[in-house]
Amino acid sequence: MHTHTLQNSFKSLGITDLVLTPGASFRYLSGLSMHASERLTLLFVNKSGEKSALLPELEAESARSADLLHIETYRDEEGPLRALRNLTQKMGFTSETVLGYEAQTIRMFEYQALTGASEVTFRAADDALTAIRLIKRDDELAKIRRAAQIVDGALERSLPLFKVGMTELDVAAELEYQMRKLGSEGTPFATIACAGPRGALPHGGPTLSEIKRGDLVVLDYGAKIDGYAADTTRTVSFGVPSEEALSIYEVVKMAQAAAVNAVKPGAVAQDVDRAARKVIQKAGLGAYFTHRTGHGLGLDVHEYPSMMEGNELILAPGMVFTVEPGVYLPNKFGIRIEDDVCVTEAGVEVLTQFTRELHVID
């Protein structure tokens, strides 16, 4: 499946080979989990689907399980250039080679090494790689479902432990600890736990600020299983919330439900966003919903497709993304509810199942 899709992409893009740096597409095509660092690490794929890799010697053992045609390794003290030249010669690179790359992940570090080792032409191939990863296989879905179960379970375990007076960092650490206990291999992004006025920062990080009675706390956190992410948000109240907070919470909950209900095969991505935005705008809060309604989910916690105005992608079974409208009132509070969903033949499967009712912590 991968090879056939790549072959079509090679032809349409006019590329002869593909180079990938460590990240989601590198892992998707090789099965190897590598991290971008000061050590040059590259995966090459030719038009026949054969894969070769340049690796630091300390990673050679990790690559034994991968289906690689060629492996060239180097030691730290010698550097990668000789090994890279050997590999490009084995792969038959010439001045006629057109090398596809991911513009969003390649660094000048890798680009300079590649141009120093061979005379090739470069062409961006991001859209082709996006298309390959867009529809999740059954094994991918199983991993995302397991990660979703973990984020649900972590919150269920953590809520009884939350108390007024804890810091935002205390709350974030407890969630992360419980996810680890349940089997998450780590967090796919920095946990968000923002209380009171800081909840109006959609991507705020946790601090040593103490949570006060009556604060709404936005909890945005994720788990990983074999690289695949779940990403969820719940907003909880430490003590009885204000009437304004209760009212707006209901608006966000209705907007989120409307967006989830809009998910089905044949629907248009932007219509999911419109469904949520319509509810929030009707309540007079449209100016305070400042981001897209959702983003794709898989080996990257933010990948295609985006649920936003202007995206006319037709939804199809196997697409996985978040649905996460929010309202953020500066200097007051923020509210966001986020679930992970999968488009199915029959409609939609909601992967994260923790209640969307407002939880009040005594």
Please report the domains of the chain, with CATH numbers, ordered by start residue: 2-133 (3.40.350.10), 135-361 (3.90.230.10)
Percent of the chain with pLDDT over 90: 93
Question: 6-15, 116-125, 168-177, 276-285: which range is least confident on average?
Answer: 6-15
Q: Give the confidence band of 11 by pLDDT, cuts at 50, 70, 90.
A: confident
Report pLDDT digits (tens) over 304-353.
999 999 999 999 999 999 999 999 999 999 999 999 999 999 999 999 99
Contact (CB, 8 A) for 313 and 269: yes
pLDDT above 70: residue 167: yes
Beta-strand ranges (E) seen in the chain are: 17-20, 42-46, 51-56, 70-74, 98-101, 121-124, 192-195, 215-225, 228-238, 294-296, 303-307, 320-323, 326-329, 333-336, 339-343, 348-350, 359-361
Quick one: pLDDT at residue 180?
Answer: 98
- Give the Å distances, CA to CA, from 133 to 296, 298, 334, 343: 10, 8, 33, 15
Contact (CB, 8 A) for 351 and 340: yes
Question: 125-129, 175-179, 227-231: which range is least confident on average?
Answer: 125-129
pTM (2 d.p.): 0.94
